[in-house]
Amino acid sequence: MADALYLSLWYPNLRLEALPDKLIAVLGAFAAHGGQARVYSATVWPVDWSEAPVFQRIYGRAGEGVERGADPRQAVAEALELLHDDYAYEFQVGWVLWELETGDAGPSTRPSAATDVLARDESADLSSRDTGDTTRWVRGPRLVRITGFGPLFDEGAYEQEGHIRIDFGSDEPFLEEDADLGQVGARHIEQNVRQLVDLTAAVEKASGATARLLWSELGESLATRLADRLGMRN
């Protein structure tokens, strides 16, 4: 069963004025570890998630030969011009992973409701087939949400969610539990997991986080599920 995967980051005695630099560092780490360098959208949420955004800017998604999106520093500066203790600041970026092609829609993505207007990317040219079956793997970007929390947003949600939370969307690219894995599929999952591990370490180091937690919505360990999936448990 697919689950939602998150990474939470905490910083000691973080002042709200320091949040922009932390967000820029996290966004920059994505560009160095399989992510796209430019921000697709920025959204500012007041008080809690039930409120309508007070700011939203859709910069667009990069296409072939087209430079769209915003530089992370520009996107963060525009969104955090409205700097309040009870606001949350959400940014969406592309993160490139191997995924199973699903019908005609290409690899799966999980955009938030705030960016449903963004068109789904076409499948990447990079693809692979497992010998003996028709499984087709494609490497392309999915939307990832990076959210920085003011200390009073949603009654201090940062204590549980982190000062910065990364929403990777579905954990399917790291498991693909409904697919029969051949050697190629297992290798692609391994590559995705290695990219996740490297990114997790990179965002912690780049942003100076003192605590991090990779967690799922249903509370199941990704490492345990992955070991079961690949038959690595004793």
229 Cβ contact partners less than 8 Å away, ≥ 6 residues apart = 175, 177, 181, 189
In a domain, 234, yes or no: no
Output the six-digit token pair for 107.
């690899």
Q: Which pLDDT score, from 0 to 100, does residue 143 have?
A: 94
Domain of 17, in residue numbers: 4-229
Report how far residue 226's alpha carbon sits from residue 175's, in angstroms, rounded to the nearest whole number: 6
- State pLDDT tens for residues 81-105: 999 999 999 999 999 999 887 654 4
Question: Domain total for the chain?
Answer: 1
In a domain, 135, yes or no: yes
Tell me the pLDDT of the chain (234 aa) as tens digits: 678 999 999 999 999 999 999 999 999 999 899 999 999 999 999 999 999 999 999 998 655 555 689 999 999 999 999 999 999 999 999 999 998 876 544 444 444 433 333 333 333 334 444 444 456 889 989 999 999 999 999 999 999 999 999 999 998 888 887 777 778 888 888 999 999 999 999 999 999 999 999 998 877 777 777 667 666 544
| Residues 176/3, Cβ–Cβ less than 8 Å | no
Q: Which pLDDT score, from 0 to 100, does residue 137 have?
A: 87
Q: Which pLDDT score, from 0 to 100, does residue 1 have?
A: 66
CA atoms within 13 A on the CB side of 207: 35
In a domain, 176, yes or no: yes
| Residues 75/83, Cβ–Cβ less than 8 Å | no
| Residues 137/181, Cβ–Cβ less than 8 Å | no
Burial class (CB in 10 A: 0-12, 13-18, 19+), 1: exposed
φ, ψ for residue 41, nearest 5 deg: -155, 160
> What is the pTM for the complete model shown?
0.83
41 Cβ contact partners less than 8 Å away, ≥ 6 residues apart = 56, 57, 58, 59, 91, 92, 114, 115, 118
In a domain, 91, yes or no: yes
In a domain, 105, yes or no: yes
DSSP bridge partners of 98? 139
Report how far residue 217's alpha carbon sits from residue 234's, in angstroms, rounded to the nearest whole number: 26
Q: Which pLDDT score, from 0 to 100, does residue 122 have?
A: 32
Report how far residue 45's alpha carbon sits from residue 106's, in angstroms, rounded to the nearest whole number: 30
In a domain, 34, yes or no: yes
DSSP SS3 for 93: strand
